[in-house]
Structure 1
Amino acid sequence: MSNLIAALAVIISLAALAYARLQAVYSRQQLKLAERIRREASEPYVVADIQPRAGGSGLLVFTVENIGPTVARDVELSVTPPLKGGERTDWDEKIAQVVGRKIPHLPPHRRLEWFFTFGPRFMANPDLPRLYTVTVKSHGPAGPVEPLTYIIDLDVIQAMALDRDTVVAKLDAIAENTKALKKLPNQ
């Protein structure tokens, strides 16, 4: 009987040891996850995109924005294929220079934007690339940030209100209507 009790004690001790080891492994995993969450919550997040300049605007701009809580340093962008808006070659060259240049720092919530193209003309030209892959590398307070890769699909925004009149076009229409009203005889 005492051998049976001793065997049960050994089995219970081994089970307790295995359980303690599993708890230690689980605790280490939890600690690693908590550390990763803490680190990522304090990193900058730099997003690159092509979007309308403002609501109802036909202008498309290339934007780079830090949506994270800390300063992004040494921001590098790589875009494949090279951005090509189709307006003028010198504009495409200028935006290529911007993309090729390292941004020394980008504070939290800072947004940079550059003219890319006029949306309706761009969408009317099927020879221009519609899909871009942008990779962003930067450094945060804890060192290098994991590179972020974005796919910009301009066909997604094709159905947006890019063909709406711009503010200037609306003002021109108001001016024309005002001229027409002035020509009417007084009643």
Structure 2
Amino acid sequence: MDASAIVAAIAAAITLAALYFTRRQVKTAEEQTAIQRGMYKDAAQPYVWADIRPHAQHASFMMLILKNEGPTVATDVSLKINPGLPSEWARNEDHEKFASMRCFDSLPPGRMMQWNLGLPQDLLPSPDTPGNGDGRFKISISFRGPNGTKTTLSYSINLSEYRWVAKTTPGTPMTIAKSVDDATKTLSKAINNVAIQLSE
């Protein structure tokens, strides 16, 4: 084999190697683009959840909460709880109407809907109270995002886990006193600044 043939063979090998790596780079770039598109699509979807938990400010009440944490509107929202909530819950509500309030045309971003179910001692299962159930419920939520795709989430909750949880609320006398003290200091500084400006 003469020198020109060897050079041609080497050039062909280099070309094939370059073509191979170019195709791999293109494939990798396409995969990265698909991943980024998927992440953008997921980030633009609503995220609707439901839970039965103590009230944020009044831990003495148990609430059914439905909220859209996502950045876009959720439509065709459906909430199912299995087994159904006991009829003695939400005594102050018409239970038939309460039970039917599980479908919603839409939930805008940040909207939270709450229903007062009753006092923890009446709702939380107790091993000493027969027929009170074990506090386990399966929650299923379905909704549509801006692109019309239907999302379904299913998960289980266990209310008996709340039995030994401390009942605490955000505000305490100490934090309230600190807030008043901080507000007083801020107001005093503002008054002093105004007095200085008026005296100049």
TM-score when normalising by structure 2? 0.69
What is the aligned counterpart of 2:82 among 80, 83, 86? 80
Determine which of 3, 6, 9 is the counterpart of 2:5: 3
1:133 aligned residue (110, 122, 138): 138
Higher relative contact order (CA 8 A, sep 6+): 1
Q: Which residue of 2 aligns with 1:120?
A: 121
Contact 2:125 2:159 in 1 (8 A): no
Which residue is 2:59 aligned to? 57
Alpha-carbon distance between aligned partners in 2 of 1:120 and 1:163, rounded to the nearest angstrom: 15
Counterpart in 2 of 1:110? Answer: 111
Q: Which of 32, 35, 41 matches 1:33?
A: 35
In the alignment, what sits opposite 1:159? 164
Q: In the alignment, which residue of structure 2 is the partner of 1:149? A: 154
Gaps of 5+ in 2: 170-200
Encode CA deviations 1:55-105: one digit per residue, 9 max, x unaligned: 452211111001111111110122222233754787665543223xx2001
TM-score (norm 1): 0.73
Name the CA distance, whole Å, in 2 between partners of 1:87 and 1:93. 12
Q: Which amino acid aligns with 1:119?
A: P
Distance 1:15 1:67 in 2: 49
* One-letter amino acid of the structure 2 residue matched with residue 143 of structure 1: G
**For the residues of structure 2 that align with 1:57 and 1:134, how far apart are their CA atoms?**
22
Task: State how far apart, in whole Å, the 1-side matches of 2:168 and 2:146 are.
Answer: 43
In 2, Cα distance between equivalents of 1:140 and 1:124: 36
| Partner SS state of residue 56, structure 2 | coil
Q: Is the 8 A contact 2:125 2:135 kept in 1?
A: no
Cα distance in 2 between the residues matched to 1:163 and 1:140: 36
Residue equivalent to 1:181: none
What is aligned with 1:173?
A: none
Task: Note closer, same or farther for the CA distance 1:76–1:132 as it changes in structure 2 (3 Å cut).
Answer: same
CA separation in 2, counterparts of 1:132 and 1:91?
A: 21
C-alpha change, 1:92 and 1:23, in structure 2 (3 Å) is farther
In the alignment, the residues of structure 1 paired with residue 18 and residue 67 of structure 2 have an alpha-carbon distance, to the nearest angstrom, of 52
- Post-superposition Cα deviations, 1:128-149, rounded to whole Å, max 9, x if no partner, equal 2422222211112211243223
The runs of 5 or more residues in structure 1 that have no matched partner are 165-187
**Count of equivalent residues:** 162
Tell me, yes or no, if the aligned pair for 2:144 and 2:150 is still in contact at 8 Å: yes
Aligned AA (1:60): M
Is 1:17–2:19 an aligned residue pair?
A: yes
